[in-house]
Amino acid sequence: MKKTLLLFLLALPVMAQGPVREAFPSDYTPSPCAADPAAVCKSFEKNRIAEYAALFRNFDLKQAWVDAHWDEMMGLFAPFCTKIANCFTVKDNTWIFCIDLMRDDFIDTCERFPQGSEDRAQCRMLAITYVTGIAGISDLHKAAQECAAKQVSTGLHRLEAWVRPEKMGLNYNGPLTVFAYDAETHLPVRASLSVDAGKLTRTDGPAAAGSILKWRAGLKRMPNAQNHSDVVLPTATLEATGYEPLTIHFPVEVPTAQVTMTPPAAQWKPGPNTITVTAVDSITGKPVEMRVMAGETVLGDTNRPLQLELAAGEKRPEIWVTSLFDHYSDVVVAEKQ
């Protein structure tokens, strides 16, 4: 029963989300310090890998399938091994980082087999076990790092970065990965990462580019020209040795509040006035709860009748709304008279 469930999970398709951007761009410039890819990717032997698949992962990998597809899979894995070898040459890139960065690429080669097929399940078991077995390469990594350190370098280099997922809603709360790479060579860089809004968590190490983190979306407030504040996109700042710091915006869709008021301020009279300030989300069209203010005085919440008392001869205060949860920018509904 356990192995049947495992086969089912291995056969599950990747959810289609359009073209997947490469974690390690294929248009990179190879480093002269890269080690032999075959040595870097040395893993379990062909005639032992099924045994290790069962031992370490409880996989039912068939040796007959391995024998029939080994050369094909090694050919598919070869470009990833070359990428790992080049990744080793970037300062502060650990060998674990470089292998983890390519893990999904090894597994994704199995999409060549029909969805739900035994071939795809066997392939995924082979790929996962193969990546698990890549070890004993600390000397190769050390040599690549030492070689790269001797290369002539002038000034600070530039980073480029992007975020996965490439589009998030304001209620997003899930996995997040920021990928950074050298702007000139396109080699990945394990840059440190800080985020200025929302909540970023990481349980097994420091936040860094290439690591799968968890992030609960959030916006930040900035002063505007009306002496109020706008909510704006959160940013991530990446820093790495030898590189200029890079700040990027997170791809969060920022809603606005569409606000109206009845009756309009021109119709107010001295004495008690009943007003209703209506606010709806610009994306969903649904009512949103915001705080209605008269100058510095709290009148109440949007989308319900509110009382505003005006003394005879008193000038009209500014009526504005603000989001208590930083989901929307402040909106001035009626200017001060």
3-class secondary-structure state, position 236: strand
Mean pLDDT of residues grouped by 10 in the chain (337 residues)? 39 44 94 94 95 95 97 97 96 93 96 96 98 84 94 88 93 94 97 93 80 93 93 95 96 93 94 96 94 96 96 91 93 93
Give pTM, 2 decimals: 0.82
- Per CATH, the number for 257-334 is 2.60.40
- The partner residues of 163 in beta bridges, in order of sequence, read 178
208-to-47, 86, 191, 204 alpha-carbon distances in Å:
37, 19, 6, 11
Q: What is the 3-state secondary structure (H, E, C) of 155-200?
A: CCECEEEEEECCCECCCCEEEEEEEEEECCCCCECCCEEEECCCEE
| Residue 204 confidence (pLDDT) | 67
CA–CA distance, 21 with 283 (Å, rounded to integer): 27
Which CATH class, in words, describes the domain spanning 159-249?
mainly beta
Q: State pLDDT tens for residues 45-72.
A: 999 999 999 999 999 999 999 999 999 9
Query: Which residues of the chain are in CATH 2.60.40 domains?
Result: 159-249, 257-334
Tokens of 132: 């698990």
88 φ/ψ angles, rounded to the nearest 5 degrees: -60, -25
| Residue 21 confidence (pLDDT) | 85
| Residue 15 confidence (pLDDT) | 37
307-to-15, 81, 273, 299, 335 alpha-carbon distances in Å:
51, 70, 6, 7, 18
